[in-house]
Chain A
Amino acid sequence: MSATLFGLAGAALVGIGLFGLIVHPTALRKLLAFNLVGAGVFLVFGVVARRAAAAGLAGDPVPQAIVITGIVVAFAATALAATLLARLSGPEEEP
């Protein structure tokens, strides 16, 4: 039951992030909101892992490992987006 509570919180995070993604006009705030959506999706996935507890483990390790990979990939994408933004906001290159 407590795991499902986190899952519902994850679903709410996806909704809140989606709202921010649409409503905020600035790119940095969109990036933040997008990270919230990602956090919510991971949390939903974590609940799926927790429900599948078996073989003496507290959760299914396969979804957990995939979430770890997902967090790192999300970070790489955020870093790339951040560099794009820095370049967009920077001054024009001198010839």
Chain B
Amino acid sequence: MTELLALTLALPLLAGALFIVATASTRAALFGFFAFGLFLALAWVALDAVDVALTEAAIGGGATGLLLLRLNGRMRHPVSLGEPAGPRLKIAAGLLAALVTLALGALLLALPEPAPSLAAATVEPLPTLGIGNPVAAVLIAYRALDTLLEIVVLLIAVVGLRALGTDRGWGGRPVPWPEGGPSPALVFLARLLIPAGLVFAAYLFWVGADAPGGKFQASTLLAALWLLAIMAGLAPAPSSGGRWTGRALAIGPLAFIAAGAIGIAAAGSFLAWPEPVAKPMIIAVELALAVSIVVALVLLVAGPPERETGR
């Protein structure tokens, strides 16, 4: 039964990937990528990794797809990095791809039995943190440094994006939608979805401590709602020159580093959570992180500022 379920989920994945690579139309490939992302999220659910499924649906499929779709609309001509592939190159690439796939598959079938696992070590200290979701505990406690650096990577991407903007656009806002005004249907949809989405994002944030969910998933949802409001003309995009944008971007990593410094003083090592106040500290840091992640994601999807704000 589970094999049947796995097959019904794995086959659309392969078909979607083949379609994305084979179709002639870039636009069709991008829409295929959205569908592919949703099937991939379902595959993660079938693998009992609901936290990953939420992240994949929100960021891997949704935000990446939206970003690339917007890019496709903004590009004035396709950027070509070479000549179209000839039959020889196609055959060579096909052989290489088949070789890599076979090697990976053989490695998967030859994995050691029983599999090494850190699950027991992760579950054991959960009560001292006040967190019931082991994946959230790994992200915020055991591998907190990874999460800190992940936020820093987002910030570096934002810095890179600003550096690539035009001089004229410096200090301005990203252009919300290339041509024409938003359609009334989009405005109605935004008005309908945003209140419900806000409630659901708050729920995801809070429930992430004990069940699948968490700050990243909630932040992505909030960023998606903000982007929807920007597209519908109901809210402005964050201004790259505004004081609040910079502060919002900085507050998450700064709070995380400050908590890490408290950990040195109170618990003996960087990013260790002192036991009696672990839960409130974690919530405070996650709130600050969520603010930074929302602004960073909106800026990354909306693109570099392109015009001056109306003064």
Contacts and interface: CB of A to CB of B under 8 A. Distances in A.
A93 B167 contact: yes
Contacts of A46: 44, 47, 49, 52
Contacts of A85: 71, 75, 79
A64 B49 CA distance: 7
Interface string B131-145: 000110111001100
A12 B10 CA distance: 10
A64 B146 CA distance: 13
A57 B20 contact: no
A77 B38 CA distance: 21
B311 interface: no
Contacts of B167: 93
B115 to A, nearest CB: 4
A75 B100 contact: no
Which of B64, B74, B85, B139 has the most chain A CB within a 10 Å cutoff? Answer: B64
Contact of A36 (B2, B20, B216): B20
B237 to A, nearest CB: 15
Interface stretch (B55-63, B179-187, B238-246): B55-63
Interface in A72-95: 72-80, 82-91, 93-94
Main secondary structure of the interface of B (DSSP, over half): helix
Nearest to B147: A69
Contacts of A30: 81
Interface of B: 2-3, 5-7, 9-10, 13-14, 17-18, 20-21, 26, 29-30, 33, 36, 40, 43-44, 46-49, 51-52, 55-56, 59-60, 63-64, 67-68, 71-72, 74-85, 89-90, 93-94, 96-98, 100-102, 104-105, 108-109, 111, 115-120, 122-123, 134-135, 137-139, 142-143, 146-147, 150, 153-154, 156-157, 160-161, 164, 166-168, 216, 300-301, 303-304
Contacts of A61: 118-119, 122, 134-135, 137-138
B160 A57 contact: no
Nearest to B10: A9
A57 B212 CA distance: 13
Nearest to A3: B47
Contact of A57 (B64, B67, B83, B119): B119
Nearest to B96: A18
A80 B155 CA distance: 11
Interface in A40-71: 42-44, 46-62, 64-69, 71
Q: How large is the interface on A (under 10, 10 to 19, 20 to 34, 35 or more residues)?
A: 35 or more
Nearest to A56: B123
Given A12-B101, A16-B14, A60-B119, A27 B79 contact: yes
Contacts of B5: 2
A93 B166 contact: yes
Contacts of A56: 123
14 contacts: A2-B3, A4-B108, A6-B10, A12-B17, A16-B21, A28-B75, A36-B21, A46-B44, A60-B117, A72-B154, A79-B300, A82-B68, A86-B75, A89-B78
A42 B251 CA distance: 30
A6 B47 contact: yes
